[in-house]
Amino acid sequence: MDNLNIMIVGVGGQGTLLASRVLGNVALKQSLDVKVSEVHGMSQRGGSVVTYVKMGKKVYSPLIEKGEADVILAFEILEALRWVEYLKKGGTIVVNEQRIDPMPVIIGKAKYPENIIAKLKQQIQNIISVNALKIAKECGNIKALNIVLLGLLAKSTDIAKDIWLEAIREVVPAKILDVNLKAFDAGYLSASDLEK
């Protein structure tokens, strides 16, 4: 397989790190080389966060740069817009329909752009938008929205579902595993709904 570059973007505190760790383990299980570049520290306090997951025969730089991402998993609408330039031509973007206002918007110094998803849909062919927060809530914990999105992503790849489940079991803490397995299935199923 060619290199696969996946970016996970969102707002600090949304659980992007855990999602990237699951993805990293999915790659490992397929005997691919893999690098996962994470963010820790300041931006985890509600800032814009991005993690890169690169897999393939051999991975050098851990960074994905503009125009190089095969997939962008956006946990928040504005973050989708911020990072969409990183998407490759023909790449796929999955957007969680959640809005979190950044501080400049809250204090009236900037405007949250309108109709972002519609604008993205005009220009990008492979775009999936979903209310993952709602699905996670139905599963019993809104924090599981990260795994809902992974479920969605999983459906769009040709990687076997079992590999994903195994990776989740290894990475997710035991206490919250059940909710997360449920969330993964819900995300996976919602992807089939979207296909219809």
Partner 1 sequence: MRKLMLGNEAVARGAYEAGVTVATAYPGTPSTEITENIAEYDDIYCEWSPNEKVALEVAAGSSIAGARSICSMKHVGLNVAADPLFTTSYTGVNGGLVIMVADDPGMHSSQNEQDSRFYARSAKVPMLEPADSQECKDFVEQGFAISERFDTPVIVRLSTRIAHSQSIVELGEKQAYQMKDYYKDPAKYVMMPAMARKRHIEVEKRLAALREFSDTGNLNRIEWGSREAGIIAGGIAYQYAREAFGETASYLKIGMVYPLPEKMIQQFAKEVQTLYVIEELEPFMEDQIKKMGIQVRGKDLLPVMGELSAQIIKEKILSIKTEIQPITNDPVPVRPPVMCPGCPHRGAFYVLKKLKMNVSGDIGCYTLGALAPMESIDVVICMGASVGAAHGMAKARGKEFAQKTVAVIGDSTFIHSGITGLIDIVYNKGISTVIILDNSITGMTGHQHHPATGYTIKGEPTRQLNLIQLVKAVGVDRVRVTDPFDIKEFEKAVKEETEAEEPSVIIVQRPCALLKNVIFEGPQAINPQKCKQCKMCLRIGCPAIVDLGDTIEINEALCVGCKLCTKLCSADAIVKR
Taking CB under 8 A as the binding criterion, the range among 74-82, 146-154, 173-181, 187-195 that sits at the site for partner 1 is: 74-82
Q: Which of 2, 57, 90, 123 binds partner 1 (CB under 8 A)?
A: 123
Total of residues contacting partner 1 (CB under 8 A): 61
Tell the smallest beta-carbon distance from residue 32 to partner 1 (Å): 9
Q: Which of 1, 30, 65, 138 binds partner 1 (CB under 8 A)?
A: 65
Give every CB contact of residue 193 below 8 A, 6+ residues apart in sequence: none
Cβ atoms of residues 138 and 186 within 8 Å: yes
Closest residue by Cα to residue 88 from 72, 103, 77: 72
Q: Where are the beta strands (DSSP E) in the chain?
A: 4-11, 33-37, 48-56, 69-74, 87-96, 126-130
Whole-number Å distance between alpha carbons of 165 and 180: 10
Tell the smallest beta-carbon distance from residue 41 to partner 1 (Å): 3
Positive or negative torsion for Cα 72, 75, 80, 83: negative
Q: Which of 2, 57, 90, 108 binds partner 1 (CB under 8 A)?
A: 108
Q: CB-wise, 39 or 179, nearer to partner 1?
A: 39
Q: Which residues bind partner 1 (CB under 8 A)?
A: 11-13, 21, 24-25, 27-28, 33-48, 59-63, 65-67, 78-79, 81-82, 84-85, 98, 100-114, 116, 119-120, 123-124, 133, 142
